[in-house]
Structure 1
Amino acid sequence: MMISKRITLTFILSLGLVFNALAQEAKVDPYQGLDFRSIGPAFTSGRIADVAIHPKNENVWYVAIGSGGVWKTVNSGTTWKPIFDKETTYSIGCVTIDQSTPSTIWVGSGENVGGRHVGFGDGIYVSHDDGKTWKNMGLQKSEHISKILIHPEDSNIIWVAAQGPLWSKGGERGVYKSTDGGSTWNKTLGNEEWTGATDLLIDPTNPNVLYAATWDRHRTVAAYMGGGPGSGIHKSTDGGETWEKLTTGIPKVKLGKIGLAMNPYDPNMIYAAIELERLTGGVFVSTNGGKSWSKKSNTVSGGTGPHYYQELYASPHKEGRLYLMNNYVKISDDHGKTFVNMNEKGKHVDSHAMAFKASDPNYVLFGTDGGLYESFDLTKTWKFISNLPVTQYYKVAVDDSEPFYNIYGGTQDNGSHGGPSRTRNEAGILNSDWWITLGADGHQSATEPGNPKITYGEFQQGVLWRVDQTTGETVFIQPQPALGEPAERFNWDAPILVSPHKPTRLYFASQRVWKSENRGDEWQAISKDLTRNQERLALPIMGGQQSWDNAWDVNAMSNYNTITSLAESPKQEGLLYAGTDDGIIQVSEDGGANWRKVELSVIKGIPATPFVNDVRADLFDANIVYAALDNHKNGDFKPYLLKSMDKGRTWSLMNGNLPKRLLTWRLVQDHIKKDLLFAATENGVYFTANGGGNWSQLKGGLPTIAMRDITIQRRENDLVAASFGRGFYILDDISPLREFNTALKN
C-alpha cells in the first residue's frame, strides 16, 4: 500500500512537471482575451508603395502598403485580406510575383522613399503558397528594399535593389543576387557606406542583361542630402555578377534619385529619370543599350523632392508613352521629349506606383499617398478603392460626446479626421460616419474637456486651427512673431496642449512656448528659444560637414531645433515641461517665467541628442514626470523611456524588459491606478502595472503595426491607439488590467 501511494504521488508530481513544462513551452498570453477593436476608417487611405497584378488572373492583386503590410484581393478590390500581419515588420517597399510560378510572391520590406516619416524593414520575404505563409530570406540589415527581379526561366535566381539604411551608413545596400532561391545572397554593386540601389531592369530577351540605378542619400533629424558620387546607372551582361557604370551623355555631377524604364517594344531603348543638382533633373534616353545617352527634357519629379517619387513606367500598350511618378503624374507620348500633367481630378495626388492589365489597354491602377485608384478610360476618370483601411495617423485625441465619444487624428497627407467610437448601426462604423476636419498633412488634434464642439488641429509645421464641430467653422490661430522677431520654427508635428487646469487655456510651441487664455484668439510667448538654435546645414551629414554646393534637398527638410512635446502637471498649475528634437527637456515651475534646462545626454544610457517624442506629467504626484525618447534618426533603434521623481532634475531609464529594438513614441497614464502606464511603440502597445519596472505587450486584435499615439477616454475607460498605417484601434474598458494580479501570470 505504501509502495502504491508512493508510485501514485510520484506519478502526480511527474504529471505536474510535464503540464508545467508544456505551459511554459506554450507561453500562454494571459492578456489574449483583451482584444483591440479596429474602427478604420477607409474613407481616405494611406501610402501605397507597390502593386502587382497576377499574370494569369487579373482579378488577383497584391498591394504593398508603405506602412501597413501586404494586402491581397481576389476580386479586383471588392474585398481585401491582409496577408502579412504576423510578420516582424509592417513597412513594405515592393512586391513581386514570380511570373513563371505565380504562387511564389516576394516582398521587400522597408519603404522605398526617403521621407521624414518613412518606415523601415528587416529584409526580404518569400511566400510559396500565394501569400498564406511567409519566410524571411535575409538581407535583414537592408532596412529599405525598392525592387525585386526574378529570372524568367529559373526561379532560383533573384536580384534585389536595396537602398540600405536611410538614417545611417552601412547596413546591406546595393544590388544583391541569389542563385539558390534566396538562401544566400551575394552583393555585386554598391559600397559599404552610402551607395545603395533604387531600381533594376531586366532584358526579357536576354536575362543576362540588367540595368541598375544606384543612389547615395542620407537623412538626419536636421537635414537631407539626396545625392552623391555613388549615384549612377550601371549595366551587367553576365546576369548581375559584374557591372559597368554608364557615363556617356550623363552629366558629371552628383546625381540624385534615378528611375529606370525599358521600352517594351525595344529592349535596347532605356529611359532614365535622373535627379541632378538642386532639384533639377531630366529624362534621358539611350537607344543602344546604355552605351550613350541623350537628354530629352528637363522633367523631374517635384513636390517635396524627387526622393519621394521618380519611379518611371513605360506603357506596354503604346510605344513611347511614359508615366513619371510625381505629386502630379507626368505623361509623355514621345519617349520623354515632352510631358503633360496627368488628369488628377477625382484622384489623390502623390503617386508612387502603377500597374497595367495585359487584357485592357485602357486600364491603369495607381498607388498614391491616399490609397488605390483605378481608371478604365486611360486616366480620364477615376474610381477610388474605398475599403482599404490603411490610414497613417500621427496622433489621436478623444472628446466626451454622448452617448458615444468621438475620435480625432491627423494623418500623413490625408488631412485631419473625426469619427465616432461606435454607432447604433448594426453594420458598425461606416466610412460615411467619418468627416474631414482639416486638409493637407494632419498632425496633432486636441479637444476641449466639457465642450466637445471645440477641437484643434494643424497642418504640417504648426499651421494651427480651431474648429467648431457644430458649425464647421475653422479659425486660423497660429501664433505669430512680433515685428522684428525671427520667424517661428514649428516642428513638422508641433505639439498642442489644452491645460488640465483651465479648458480654454491652450499651449502651443515653435522654438519657444506660447500660451493663450482664450482658445487661441490671443497669444503670449512664455519662453525664449528653448532649443540649441543651430545652423543645421553646418551639422555633419553623410560622414562629415558638407559644402553648400552639395546635393542638399531643402524642400525635403523639416524644421529643426524645435519643441516637439509639451506637458503641464495636473497637480501643480504652471509646472510646465517642453521637450525638443535636439535632446533637451526644459522645465518651468512658474508658468513660463523661468526655465530650467535638462541636457538629456548627461543621463546614463542616453545618446547625445535624442528626439523627445513625448513628455508626460504624472496625474497623481507633481514631482513625477515621464518621457519617451527616440534616436532612430541617428540609426539607433533602442527604446528610451524615462522617469523623474524630482521634477526633471534627475532621471532614470524605465525600459525594464522591453525589446532591445523598439522605438517608443508616446505614453499615457491610467487615471485610476497610478502605476499603470501604456506605451505606443513601433511594434504595438505595451503596458506596465508597476510604474515601468517591467512591461507586457497587448497583442489581441492587433497586426504588426506602429502605434504613434495613445490615449484614454476616461468616462468609458477605453484605451485608444493611433496606428501609422492601419487606422485607429480601441481596447474597450481597461478595468481588467487594473484588477489583474500580475504575480499570477506565471
Structure 2
Amino acid sequence: MRKILFLFAFLGASTLSAQDSIPKKLVQNLEFRAIGPAGMSGRITAIQVDPRDKNHIYVGSASGGMWQSTNGGTSWDCLFNNEAVSSVGALALDPQNPDVIWLGTGEGNPRNSNTGGAGLYKSIDGGKSWKLVGLEKTRHIHRIIVNPYNPNIVYVAAIGNPWADSEHRGVYKTTDGGKNWERILYRNERTGAAEMVMDPQNPDKLMVNMWEHRRNPWFFKSGGPGSGLFISYDGGATWKEKKDDSGLPKGELGRMGLAIAASQPSRVYAFIEKKGKNALYRSENGGENWQKISEDENIGNRPFYYAEIYVDPQNENRVYSIWSVISRSEDGGKNWEVIAPYSYIHPDHHALFIHPEDPAYIINGNDGGLNISRDKAKTWRFVSNLPIAQFYHINYDMETPYNVYGGMQDNGSWKGPAYVWRADGIRNDYWEELFFGDGFDVSPDPSDNRFVYAMSQEGNVGRIDTETGYYKMIKPVHPENETLRFNWNAPIAQDPFDDKTIYYGAQYVFKSQNQGQSWALISPDLTTNDTTKQNYGESGGLTYDVTGAENYTTLLCIEPSSLEQNLLWVSSDDGKLHLSKDGGANWTDLSKALKDMPQGAWIPQIVHSQHKKGAAFVVANDYRRGNEKAMLYYTEDYGKSFKNLGASLPAYVISTVQDPKDESLIFAGTQRGLYFTWDKGAHWQKWAKDLPTVLVSDMKIHPREDDLILGTFGRSAFILDDLETLRALVKTKRENSLKDFHFFAPRDIYKVARKRADGARFPADGIFKGENRSTSLQAFIYNGYEASDSIKAKHIKFEIINAQGDVVRSLYRDAKEGMQSYSIYMSAKGIGFPSKNRSLNDTNEIAPLDLVTGTYRIKASFNGLSQEYSFNYQPDPRLSIAAEDEAKNIAYQKELDKSLENLHVYTDWIKSAQTKLKIAQSIADFQLDEDQAKAFNDSLKPLQKGLKKLEERVYGREVDGYYDQPKTLQSQYYAVLGYVGSGWDGVPSQAEILKKGYQKSESEFITDAQAFQQKEWLKFAALRKQFNLELKD
C-alpha cells in the first residue's frame, strides 16, 4: 500500500474568479510540511472493517478525515482529504460490495468543541473519489445502515445541529442508492436521531433513539419530550414509540445506547439516560418489553458524550460499554467490570468494532486515537501514526532549530521541533508533553524557553521547567476571593516589551510582572456579566456535566501591541471588545463599532498589525448560535471603525495572521480550511488540494525564519517554510510583472551535523515520521515557457559562485513548466575517486568536496535568460569550529582530491583496455572460424587477467557472499577522507598517517600499471596482427 505522504501543496482557488486568483501552475510546489505529532492522536468517531479482509480497516475522525489501513493498522492513508469538511460522524460499507463506502459528516458527540459536517458522501471505488449525495443541512450524522440484501436502501440517523433549532434532523432513507431521500422519522427541531440499529435477521426492523438536546455556549441540556425509543417493522414506513408501559422508565428521557445481539436477535439492550440513575434495560422479545437489569456505576457516566453499548456477535451475554473507560459484562448486563481504566489506554471512548467472525478482534476509538486488540481486550496496541491531533493554539520559540508549541483537545500541551538536524524525520519521540488535561495556549518564556506557561481547563495555568518537569501552579485569584469565570480556552499573553510580564484572563484581565508569582487586577469585568448565562454549575440536563466547558461571560483573547507599549486589546465570548492604551488603567468598549457583528458573538482572536499603530484584525464567529457567517474585521483607527474583510469567505473564521513584511498578505483559518488574500481582503483564495480541508484553529509566522505555522483542529501541525517566495509571487501578481523565467531568492541555509534518530535505527513501517525541512538549498523557479520545439534548452543550469567570484559548482536540472522546486546540495566540484561503474562518456560534473561556510551566489540560467542571488551558508550554531580550522580542512580535502588526477589516467586506461578486449572478442567471433576465434580469445586471457588484477587493487574483488577485502586504493583513500570529511575542525594527525600509506600504494599501483601498459599490452597489437583482425586502437 501507499505510505502516508507528508507533503501538502497549494493548488486550488476559491471565492474568486480565475483572473483574480494566482494560477495553479504558479504555486504548485509551495509545499506545507505535516510535522505531527501522531503519538497523541485525536478523537475517533467511526470504525469499519472490510468483511473480505480483516486487515483492511477504515476509521473516521472527529475533525481529521477518514483513514484506511490495509495491513491491520501498521500504516495509514487518509482517503477524505479535500471534501468540503473534515469531520466524520459515521461510516458504513455496502455488505455486498465493500468498495462502496458511505460517509456521514459532522461528528455525533455534541461537546463544546464539536465540528460540523456538510452532508452525506458516497464512494464507489474504495474511497479514491467521493460524491456528495445529499443531506447537506443535517450538519451532524451519527449512524448509517445499509440494507444487507438491497444496498440501494440506506438509512441515515442525523443527530442535527446541537447549537440551534433545525428541522434537518431525524432518520432519512433512500431506496435508490442516494439519489433521493425521504425523512421517515422526525420529532421536533431539537430532537435528532442519536442511535439506530437494525435487526441482523430482519432488515425491515429498525430501532432508533430520538434524543432532544440543546447546546448553548453557556449551558447544555440533555433530555426533553422529544426523546424516546422507536421501533419500525416495515423499513421506517411506520414507527411505534416504546414507553413505560413496556417496562421503560417513566418521565423525561435522554440519550440511549442500543444493541441487538447478533447471535440471538430477540435479545436487545438499551442504556438509557433518565431522571435519577441511568440504567441498562434488556428485552428478550426484540424490544417489545423491557426490564431494568442494572444501575451499575460502571456502565457509563456521560451519556451526552458517549452512550454506546455493543454485544459480542457470538455471545449474547457479553456486553461492552464505552464511556470514560471501557467496561464489560459477562452475564447479560447485570454486573460490570472496567477492562480499560483511565491509566491504561486513553479515556473518553466513542467507537468500537468487534469482528463478527472473530470477537477477540476489537478496535477501539477514543479522544486519544485508535487501539487494536486481538485477545478480547486483554491487551491493546496503540496506533501511533495517525496524525489527527486537535490543536487549539500554536506557538513557537526562537531556538535554532526552533520549536513549536500547542495545546490539544483532551491531549495536553506539547512542545516539538519545527525541523530537526538529524536523520529519519520528526518522530513522535521528539514531541514532549508539558502539561496534561485539555491543552490550550502554550507560551514559552522569551528570556529562557526552558520555561513555559501551559494551561488546562477551568483556567489552570502553570509555569513548567521543561528540563526537569518541575511545575508551579500560577493561576490567579481575585484579591477579594471573588469567584472567577475562566473560559474553557482561557487567554494568556506575553508582554512584548518585558519578558517577565504576562497577562491572563477570566472576566477580568490579570497582569503579573514576575512570571506568575503574583498578579494584579488591571481591569473591571470586561464581559456583559449576564447572570442569566452563568448557571454552568447546573449544566447537563438529565445528567450533570460540569467540566468548565460551559463557563460563559469570560474573556477569550488578550493581545498586547508590539508597536505601542501598554496598548492592550481584549475580547470576550459574549461579543465584547475592549482597548486600553495605558496598561489597563482605562478601558474603551469598542463592541458597538463592530456594526454588522451579531450582538453576543464569540470573539476568539485579535491580531494587531505590525505595520501600523492602531491597526488590528478581529476574528468573530457565531456558529454556536446557529449562525455561520464569516467575520474577520479590520480596523486602522484603534477600533473606532471596522470593515469585515472576510465577508466573502465560505465558512466561519477561527484564526488569522497578517504577514509582517507584506501588509496586504493575510491568512484566514476557517472551519473549511486555509484561505489567503494578497490584496487585503478584496479577494480570497483557498489553499487547497494537497493541504487537507481542516479547521485551522491558530497560526503564527516565525519572525526569524518567515515560516507559516498552522495548528489545525484535526490534522496536527503544518509548516510552510519561508514565505519569501509567496511574497514575491503576490508582488508580481499585483504588479503584473511575472517573467516567463523567474528565479526566486533562496533562503540562507546551514552547514549542519546530522544526528541519528532516537530509538530504533530500522523502525520499519509502524512509526510516524513528520516531514522534515531539507538542509539543502531550495531554489524555486517559475518557468512560463511551454514545452515546444522552439525552446531549445531542456535544462536549467545552476552555478554556485563563491565570494571570490569562482564558480565552485555547476549542475543541470530538467526544465519543467510552472513553479518548480529544486534541491541543491552544497558541495564543490572536484575530481573524486574514480568510479568503477561510471562511463568514460559521462561528462556530468562531480562535486565531492565540502564548501567552507560564508556568502555565496547562485545563478540560474535557461533559454538565454539568467538571474542570480546571494545567500549565506551559515555554520552550525551548535558547534564551535574556528574559521581557520574549517579552511584548513577544506584545503586538505582539495589537496587530497587533486592528487587523484594521475590515478584517473590509469583507471580510465584500464576501462578503455577492457572495453577493447571485449570488442576484439566480438570481432573475432564474427570474422574468424571457430577454432581461430577460440585460439584468439584464449590468447587474450592473460591480458584480461592482468587488467583485472590491476582493477582489483583499486576496487577489490567481485565475489558472491561476504568477503573481507584486503586493502584497496579505494578503501585507503576513503579511510583518509573519513577523517577529514567527517568533521570540519582542522585535520587530525591520523589522516596524514593514512594519507602517506595511500600515496605509497597509489605510487606502486601506477608503476605497475605503467609496466603493464608498456610491456604486456603490446601483445594485444601483436595478436591482432597475427590473427589478421581489423580493429582500431
**In the alignment, what sits opposite 2:571?**
579
**In the alignment, what sits opposite 1:285?**
282
| Deviation of the 1:125 alpha carbon | 1.0
Tell me if the contact between 1:32 and 1:699 (Cα under 8 Å) persists in the aligned partners.
no
Aligned partners of 2:89 and 2:297: how far apart in 1? Answer: 21
Tell me if the contact between 2:220 and 2:550 (Cα under 8 Å) persists in the aligned partners.
no
| Deviation of the 1:191 alpha carbon | 2.9
| Deviation of the 1:620 alpha carbon | 2.8
Q: Which amino acid aligns with 1:654?
A: L
**In the alignment, what sits opposite 2:96?**
100
**In the alignment, what sits opposite 1:480?**
477
Match of 1:267 among 261, 265, 270: 265
Quick one: higher RCO (CA 8 Å, sep 6+), 1 or 2? 1
Tell me if the contact between 1:297 and 1:338 (Cα under 8 Å) persists in the aligned partners.
yes
Please tell me whether residue 625 in structure 1 is matched to residue 616 in structure 2.
Answer: yes
Aligned partners of 1:399 and 1:49: how far apart in 2? Answer: 34
Mapping 1:2-401, distance limit 5 Å: 28=24, 30-247=26-243, 248-277=246-275, 280-299=277-296, 305-344=302-341, 345-401=343-399
| Deviation of the 1:209 alpha carbon | 1.3
| Deviation of the 1:472 alpha carbon | 2.6
| Deviation of the 1:240 alpha carbon | 1.2
| Deviation of the 1:674 alpha carbon | 2.8
The secondary structure found in structure 1 opposite 2:640 is coil
Aligned partners of 1:302 and 1:614: how far apart in 2? Answer: 40
Report the more deviating stretch, 551-560 or 392-401. Answer: 551-560
The secondary structure found in structure 2 opposite 1:555 is coil
Aligned partners of 1:463 and 1:734: how far apart in 2? Answer: 35
| Deviation of the 1:359 alpha carbon | 4.3
- Residues 483-537 of structure 1, C-alpha deviations (whole Å, 9 max, x = no match): 4x32111111111100111121100100100001111111111112111122345
Q: Which amino acid aligns with 1:638?
A: K
Tell me if the contact between 2:272 and 2:281 (Cα under 8 Å) persists in the aligned partners.
yes
Aligned partners of 2:297 and 2:603: how far apart in 1? Answer: 36
| Deviation of the 1:617 alpha carbon | 1.9
Distance 1:536 1:257, change over 3 A: farther
Aligned partners of 1:85 and 1:455: how far apart in 2? Answer: 34
The secondary structure found in structure 2 opposite 1:432 is helix
Report the more deviating stretch, 446-455 or 118-127. Answer: 446-455
**In the alignment, what sits opposite 2:632?**
641
Tell me if the contact between 1:654 and 1:693 (Cα under 8 Å) persists in the aligned partners.
yes
- Residues 398-439 of structure 1, C-alpha deviations (whole Å, 9 max, x = no match): 00112x100011001111111101112332111111111111
Aligned partners of 1:107 and 1:89: how far apart in 2? Answer: 12
Please tell me whether residue 468 in structure 1 is matched to residue 465 in structure 2.
Answer: yes
Report the more deviating stretch, 385-394 or 355-364. Answer: 355-364
Report the more deviating stretch, 685-694 or 472-481. Answer: 685-694
Distance 1:549 1:363, change over 3 A: closer
The secondary structure found in structure 2 opposite 1:308 is coil
Please tell me whether residue 560 in structure 1 is matched to residue 560 in structure 2.
Answer: no
- Residues 270-316 of structure 1, C-alpha deviations (whole Å, 9 max, x = no match): 111111137x3111111122222111112478988211100110111
**In the alignment, what sits opposite 2:753?**
none
Tell me if the contact between 2:267 and 2:316 (Cα under 8 Å) persists in the aligned partners.
no
Tell me if the contact between 2:497 and 2:565 (Cα under 8 Å) persists in the aligned partners.
yes
Aligned partners of 2:256 and 2:543: how far apart in 1? Answer: 16
Aligned partners of 1:361 and 1:151: how far apart in 2? Answer: 23
Aligned partners of 1:611 and 1:29: how far apart in 2? Answer: 38
Aligned partners of 1:548 and 1:494: how far apart in 2? Answer: 19
Q: Which amino acid aligns with 1:337?
A: K
Please tell me whether residue 590 in structure 1 is matched to residue 579 in structure 2.
Answer: no
**In the alignment, what sits opposite 1:9?**
none
Distance 1:551 1:576, change over 3 A: same
Distance 1:549 1:416, change over 3 A: closer
- Residues 345-401 of structure 1, C-alpha deviations (whole Å, 9 max, x = no match): 531111111112244332221111111111222222221111111111110010011
Aligned partners of 2:490 and 2:42: how far apart in 1? Answer: 21
| Deviation of the 1:29 alpha carbon | 6.1
TM-score computed with the length of structure 2 as normaliser: 0.67
Please tell me whether residue 427 in structure 1 is matched to residue 424 in structure 2.
Answer: yes
Report the more deviating stretch, 43-52 or 291-300. Answer: 291-300
Tell me if the contact between 1:31 and 1:698 (Cα under 8 Å) persists in the aligned partners.
no
Aligned partners of 2:265 and 2:484: how far apart in 1? Answer: 53
Please tell me whether residue 696 in structure 1 is matched to residue 685 in structure 2.
Answer: yes
Tell me if the contact between 2:272 and 2:279 (Cα under 8 Å) persists in the aligned partners.
yes
Match of 2:696 among 707, 725, 729: 707
Distance 1:361 1:550, change over 3 A: closer
Q: Which amino acid aligns with 1:518?
A: N
Tell me if the contact between 2:261 and 2:267 (Cα under 8 Å) persists in the aligned partners.
yes
| Deviation of the 1:30 alpha carbon | 3.8
Aligned partners of 1:152 and 1:338: how far apart in 2? Answer: 33
Please tell me whether residue 730 in structure 1 is matched to residue 730 in structure 2.
Answer: no
Aligned partners of 2:220 and 2:693: how far apart in 1? Answer: 29
- Residues 42-68 of structure 1, C-alpha deviations (whole Å, 9 max, x = no match): 111100001101111101011011111
Aligned partners of 2:384 and 2:332: how far apart in 1? Answer: 34
Aligned partners of 1:313 and 1:175: how far apart in 2? Answer: 21
Please tell me whether residue 721 in structure 1 is matched to residue 717 in structure 2.
Answer: no
| Deviation of the 1:196 alpha carbon | 1.1
| Deviation of the 1:701 alpha carbon | 3.9
Distance 1:59 1:471, change over 3 A: same
- Residues 622-644 of structure 1, C-alpha deviations (whole Å, 9 max, x = no match): 22122000101011111101112
Tell me if the contact between 1:407 and 1:420 (Cα under 8 Å) persists in the aligned partners.
yes
Gaps of 5+ in 1: 1-20, 542-546
Matched residues, number: 714
The secondary structure found in structure 2 opposite 1:521 is coil
The secondary structure found in structure 1 opposite 2:546 is helix
State the Cα RMSD in Å.
2.3
Tell me if the contact between 2:221 and 2:540 (Cα under 8 Å) persists in the aligned partners.
no
The secondary structure found in structure 2 opposite 1:379 is coil
- Residues 131-160 of structure 1, C-alpha deviations (whole Å, 9 max, x = no match): 111111101011111111111110111111
**In the alignment, what sits opposite 2:878?**
none
Tell me if the contact between 1:71 and 1:83 (Cα under 8 Å) persists in the aligned partners.
yes
Point out the structure with the larger helix share.
Answer: 2
| Deviation of the 1:552 alpha carbon | 7.0
Tell me if the contact between 1:224 and 1:552 (Cα under 8 Å) persists in the aligned partners.
no
Aligned partners of 1:182 and 1:685: how far apart in 2? Answer: 30
Tell me if the contact between 1:273 and 1:300 (Cα under 8 Å) persists in the aligned partners.
no
Tell me if the contact between 1:33 and 1:700 (Cα under 8 Å) persists in the aligned partners.
no
Report the more deviating stretch, 327-336 or 52-61. Answer: 327-336
**In the alignment, what sits opposite 1:418?**
415
| Deviation of the 1:650 alpha carbon | 2.1
Gaps of 5+ in 2: 1-16, 739-1033
The secondary structure found in structure 2 opposite 1:461 is helix
**In the alignment, what sits opposite 2:405?**
408
- Residues 112-134 of structure 1, C-alpha deviations (whole Å, 9 max, x = no match): 11100001111111111111111
Aligned partners of 2:311 and 2:530: how far apart in 1? Answer: 45
